[in-house]
Amino acid sequence: MPVNLPVIDPKALFPVTGVRLGWTQAQIKQPNRKDLLLVEIAEGSSVSGVFTQNRFCAAPVTVCQSHLASHTSIRALVVNTGCANAGTGEQGMQDTLTTCQHVAEIMSISPQAVLPFSTGVILEHLPMAKLLAGLAGAYQNLADDHWADAAESIMTTDVAPKAFSRQLKVDGKSVHVTGISKGAGMIHPNMATMLGYVATDAAIAQPLLDELTKEIADLSFNCISVDGDTSTNDSFIVIATGQSGTDLITDRNDPKLVSIYQTLLEAAQVLAQAIVRDGEGATKFMTVTIKGAKTVEEAKTIGFSIGKSPLVKTAFFASDPNLGRILAAIGYASRECESLNDLDTNKIDLYLGDVLVAEQGGRAKSYQESMGQAVMDQAEIEVSVDLYRGDAQATIWTCDFSYEYVRINADYRT
């Protein structure tokens, strides 16, 4: 079961003026399951996205990037689960373009105004007849209060839907930020992770939204790992419809942006953490903070070295304070970050929660196993490391590694 992931209350998810969502059961992989989502976006909205850096990126990712680069005003998103449409060559590309074409016809918009997304099994072709047949039903289902259903319709191995919503006041007007995400496995983002959508009815100019989207992805979806595998289909999309009636924000330093930016960032972090809380087989949620690094890259590399280590993750699953494994993972992080080759391990302090476990690279004199055990027994655990070599820091979020992870991934296609 997910670790402290709140159950969604559909009534607590604010509509975002200018965004309507429609879902259907297209039977793409399994019957009786919401598996196709259409999102309609009002004319004049700004839409930005960041995508997986996986070289085997899926056809829909390539098409999204091309449609965004064309500067066509984006008017629709279409998302299917059950098939990733990755590793599908020319036919996969054709299937994605055909999907966009059909959405465009139904909605009377340009095919380039459609962003397509797929998630599911790689190396299999989309069942196009089912998918196309489903689009009309999804279109008829469009409504502005379907965020909870939308969150459900994009799930794969997720146990629970993931959503975030806030209402804030900007210049006396109500602005809304609502978002959804999915993902539980193949989670180790490299620019963004599959799939996150955040919408606001604030008005943010396209170039500024592009800049903010990258920045927010780096502080949220790019700080999580479930299994170290980067998906072929990762996508994170931010929509600003401008329908709240607030003034258009074009400047990074506009004071009106402060609360909106904070809320967009909070949305992305909560949704990213929700993916970890619902990580495949997860029983623990770990926050790993690395301080005193020379660069953020150093801090993030060490954080992920700890957060990806199967030995660390199985020890957390067992609530076993076998914390030498964390030191080992710090020590081999230089494999992935050259500047760590001169890391002086004799300076490093390691904390588990508030407990000092290692000081100056060795077992802390004050440390007793029972102190580590008390922290390990909790479901939410903080690991912090001080390298004492600079001022940069980073925090990443990860989960443990359980029998259930193996079962889920040994059974996934069956």
Concatenating the DSSP letter of every residue in 174-216 gives EEEEEEEE--SSS---SS--S-EEEEESS-B-HHHHHHHHHHH
Q: Which lies closer to a second copy via its Cβ, residue 11 or residue 55? A: 55
Q: Smallest distance, Å, CB 272 to a second copy? A: 18
Q: Which residues are catalytic?
A: 193
345 is in an annotated binding site: no
Q: Is 294 annotated as a binding residue?
A: no
Q: Strand 380-386 to strand 349-352: parallel, antiparallel, or no bridges (unpaired)?
A: antiparallel
414 appears as a binding residue in the annotation: yes
Using CA atoms, how far apart are residues 26 and 35, in angstroms rounded to an integer? 6
250 is in an annotated binding site: no
For residue 307, the minimal CB distance to a second copy (Å) is 12
CA separation for the pair 202, 126 (Å, rounded): 36
Judged by CB, which is closer to a second copy: 55, or 71? Answer: 55
Question: Are 320 and 401 within 8 A, CB to CB?
Answer: no
CB of 202 to a second copy, least distance (A): 34
Q: Which residue number, 324 or 353, has a Cβ lying nearer to a second copy?
A: 324
Q: Minimum distance from CB of 151 to a second copy (Å)? A: 24
Residue with Cβ nearer a second copy (41 or 330) = 330
According to the annotation, is 347 in a ligand binding site?
A: no
Q: What is the Cα–Cα distance from 219 to 149, expressed in whole angstroms?
A: 27
| CB burial readout 284-300, b (16+ within 10 A) else e | bbbbbbbbbbbeebbbb
- Residue for token pair 């469009």: 142
- DSSP secondary structure string, 286-329? EEEEEEEESSHHHHHHHHHHHHH-HHHHHHHHTT---THHHHHH
Can you say which residues are annotated as belonging to the binding site? Answer: 156, 182, 193, 280, 409, 414
Can you say which residues are annotated as belonging to the binding site for substrate? Answer: 156, 182, 193, 280, 409, 414
